Amino acid sequence: MSSHETNGLVFVFTGTSGSGRKTIAHHIAKELGFSSVVSYTTRTPRPKEINGKDYNFISRKVFIDCDIAGEFFQTVEIDGNFYGIKKADIDEALRKDGLIYVIVNRYAANRFKYTFGERAIRLFIYVNKQTIMERMLARNTPTDVIDHYMNHYIEEVSYRKDCEHVFENMNLQETIDKVKATMLAHMPTTTS
């Protein structure tokens, strides 16, 4: 049995695309000092995305080879692109930090819940569709990315009823404070 089945906490950031999940998750992780388990994808990088931070960008051939070799904990295909998280990356981060965080959609969130049970905490981040649109337009986000966010909104937002915690991300600092407090409440306190 690998360690990801026995130890550690998994914070699963999920919710509506473009709602601020990565911003919130990375900010809190930096403050609390733990690292993310980064997904692999065959999608083309968007402007400002960093390989190894936002995603590990790989070719379809490499993705399929890794999949056949059984390296992925879970995979999904969205709009013709593959996404997945590697078992070895989960195990390594759990060994190092005792907890991990991932940023994924409902399919991976369900898989984490199934495998880790109460040790998987789903943090659902959302904003309304209009706000996502306004934020994206203000940042000159490419049209195809905005379309992608809009097309998946209804399906994604319906998952919030299944999650342990739900946050509407209007004021960023307020959301960060609430999510961080929620995460800390799940983390074991250290005794001196």
Ligand X SMILES: Nc1nc2c(ncn2[C@@H]2O[C@H](COP(=O)(O)O)[C@@H](O)[C@H]2O)c(=O)[nH]1
Ligand Y SMILES: Nc1ncnc2c1ncn2[C@@H]1O[C@H](COP(=O)(O)OP(=O)(O)OP(=O)(O)O)[C@@H](O)[C@H]1O
What the block records as the tokens of 147 is 């379309």
Applying the rule CB under 6 A, the residues between 109 and 168 that interact with ligand Y are 135, 139
For position 19 contacting ligand Y by CB under 6 A, the verdict is yes
- Shortest Cβ 174–ligand Y spacing (Å): 8
Of 86, 110, 82, whose CA–CA distance to 36 is shortest?
A: 86
Any idea which residue has 């930090």 for tokens?
97
The answer to the question of residue 169 lying near ligand Y (CB under 6 A) is yes
Q: Which is nearer to ligand X, 134 or 184 (CB)?
A: 134
Nearest to 92 by CA among 21, 22, 8: 8
User: Which of 16, 14, 21 shows the shortest CA–CA distance to 128?
Assistant: 16
Among 103, 121, 127, 183, binds ligand X (CB under 6 A): 103
Is 48 or 61 the residue whose CB approaches ligand Y more closely? 48
What residue is closest to ligand Y based on CB?
A: 20
Interface segment toward ligand X; rule CB under 6 A; list 24-32, 101-109, 164-172, 173-181:
101-109
Bridge partners for 99 per DSSP: 9
57 is a site residue for ligand X (CB under 6 A): no
- CB closer to ligand Y, 50 vs 172: 172
Helix or strand holding residue 93 (H, E): helix 87-97
| Angstrom distance (rounded) from CA 134 to CA 146 | 10
